[in-house]
A and B are shown apart, each in its own frame.
Chain A
Amino acid sequence: GEEVAQTPKHLVRGEGQKAKLYCAPIKGHSYVFWYQQVLKNEFKFLISFQNENVFDETGMPKERFSAKCLPNSPCSLEIQATKLEDSAVYFCASSSLGSRDVEKLFFGSGTQLSVL
């Protein structure tokens, strides 16, 4: 597709429940990035993929968070046993050659996760 598609747009979970977010990058883009927007001005890098391989996971919380990008499937970000502090908007972005060498990252419209 010509845009980064994130689903669902909104997700509500009770504390302790699992949350799974999906991201379909733009067709032909090799790199996928996940960001967590906790405050409106602050984005935290979580993880990036080059095709199905983890490229950089230095931002991923060690516990409860996992992500995958499998061939012919949307990428996913999963949070096991969600906590209140996980409430945020999660953005996915894709690029064709890695964020240094392209004009722009293409961002999805985000998934708003609310943990109650």
Chain B
Amino acid sequence: SQELEQSPQSLIVQEGKNLTINCTSSKTLYGLYWYKQKYGEGLIFLMMLQKGGEEKSHEKITAKLDEKKQQSSLHITASQPSHAGIYLCGADPTGNQFYFGTGTSLTVIP
């Protein structure tokens, strides 16, 4: 089965600071998804990366995929309280089962 390890597990940052969340896969990544979950709410799709070296941005969030390292990183620039929540990476190596990472809990202090 696919294992997706995220680091750090939790992160507390001051508003305005930059931060990075990593997602490392135990198997070859053919694509990777990033989601955000606000406390008590459902999952919100952020972006999908399909090719090695691909980089995508959505507002102040940028994600990259390094296929060789079997790793993806999510970078938030100038964090805001609205960025707080749980960030999950996800992958679907077989086409019929979707795996989530262990998650990173982000707190942004105003």
Contact = CB atoms under 8 A, between A and B. Distances in A.
Contact of B92 (A41, A59, A100): A100
Contacts of A100: 30-31, 92, 94-96
Interface residues of A, number: 26
A109 B41 CA distance: 6
Contacts, number: 68
Interface stretch (A14-22, A42-50, A62-70, A79-87): A42-50
Contacts of A104: 33, 45, 48
Interface string A60-99: 0000000000000000000000000000000101000011
Nearest to B35: A107
Contacts of B104: 41
Looking at chain B, what size class is its interface with the partner chain? Answer: 20 to 34
B96 A56 contact: yes
Given A45-B99, A108-B42, A99 B105 contact: no
Given A41-B103, A59-B97, A107-B43, 10 more contacts: A40-B37, A43-B88, A56-B96, A56-B97, A99-B92, A100-B30, A100-B94, A104-B33, A105-B45, A107-B35
Interface of A: 33, 35, 40-43, 45, 48, 55-56, 58-59, 91, 93, 98-101, 103-110
Interface of B: 6, 9, 30-31, 33, 35, 37, 39, 41-45, 48, 86, 88, 90, 92, 94-100, 102-105
